[in-house]
Amino acid sequence: GGLIMGTGIESSSHIHGLFQHTCVAYELVLADGSLVRCSPTENSDLFYAVPWSCGTLGFLVAAEIKMIPAKKYVKIHYEPVRGLQKICEKFTEESKKKENSFVEGLLYSLDEAVIMTGVLTDEAEQNKINRIGNYYKPWFFKHVENYLKADRTGIEYIPSRHYYHRHTRSIFWELQDIIPFGNNPVFRYLFGWMVPPKISLLKLTQGEAIRKLYEQHHVVQDMLVPVKSLEKSIQTFHVDLNVYPIWLCPFILPNNPGMVHPKGDEPELYVDIGAYGEPKRKQFEARASMRQMEKFVRSVHG
């Protein structure tokens, strides 16, 4: 339900759009108890109102989605890029290429990033297969950072299931704040099978003091902005939050009816900027800073 009524995005969204855009019909139980089916041709007003509704229209009980053929591996190309302008230009360029099945960026500082592009394939060079999802493997974002530190490009073949769960073991990079030694090779080999811990368990074991600390000194925010505003947006994130790494994921926003659509009449390329972690900005104040970020996002039609 959250993928449809909220936001569902992946590194293939520059081609297929958000998860809601792969849906062709929904079934909902409305407030009067009736079961209603909706599609672009049947109860279309309800169909286009379901995305972004966050459960306010009824209970989503079924969805029909388009099936996209898969292959055994994702062939990933890693390219370190330096300089904010070059990062934004490279990311935009790769996001517009339809031959890229996947596009993703990890920003490690204001002017250092690794841009990843991928294509689906059934064939792989055996010496370049990386089963990144195995419990003893380095966390994915740390693995990617090695290409930046070495200042070299690289190609790997990742099994498709491992690729889709590439950020699962480290909860993107949130786990480094929970288990600072979690990426240590000894810990991975002995206890890597235990992670990630269930979020529900983490919440259950949090005391009131820890919960308040998280609320005041921790952010988990995704801002969806037009890719043409990417450079300005990253600069704003740096000033207001100063959280790294930052996740960059492109998606195409079609001009469909409903709550969220491009400003113009044509589909527009957007980017999800994800900030997860502890802000390094001095005198960070959660409520005021988030309000400031939301104001900025609205100003660029995000």
Q: Going residue by residue through the chain, which has 302 residues, state the pLDDT in tens, using 9 for 90 and above.
A: 688 998 899 999 999 999 999 999 999 999 999 999 999 999 999 999 999 988 899 999 999 999 988 999 999 999 999 999 999 999 999 999 999 999 999 999 999 999 999 999 999 999 999 999 999 999 999 999 999 999 999 999 999 999 999 999 998 998 888 888 999 999 999 998 988 877 777 777 777 777 777 767 788 889 999 999 999 999 999 999 999 999 999 999 998 888 888 888 889 999 999 999 888 888 788 888 889 899 999 999 98
Domains of the chain: 2-65 (3.30.465.10), 73-201 (no CATH), 208-299 (3.30.70)
What is the structure's pLDDT at 212? 75
- Let me know: does 73 contact 122? Beta carbons within 8 Å: yes
Please give the Cα distance from 48 to 45 (Å, whole number): 6
pLDDT at 211: 72
End-to-end CA distance of the chain: 22
Give the relative orientation of helices 84-95 and 230-240 as an angle to the nearest 10 degrees.
Answer: 130
| Helix 208-217 / helix 286-299 crossing angle, nearest 10 deg | 40
CB atoms within 10 A of CB 127: 6
pLDDT of residue 78: 98
* Dihedral of the alpha carbons of 20, 24, 30, 33, in degrees to the nearest 10: -140
Note whether 218 and 277 are within 8 A (CB). Answer: yes
**CA-to-CA distance for 138 and 169, rounded, in angstroms?**
10
Cβ neighbours, 10 Å, residue 190: 11
CA distance 229 to 296: 11
CA-based nearest residue to 115, from 227, 222, 248:
248
DSSP string, 105-144: EEEEETTEEEEEEEEEES---GGGB--TTSTTSPPHHHHH
Decide: 119 and 75 in contact? Cβ < 8 Å.
yes
Instruction: Provide the H-helix boundaries in the chain.
Output: 2-5, 13-16, 44-49, 84-95, 140-150, 160-164, 175-178, 185-191, 199-204, 208-217, 230-240, 286-299
What's the pLDDT score for residue 259? Answer: 82
Q: Does the predicted TM-score (pTM) go above 0.85? A: yes
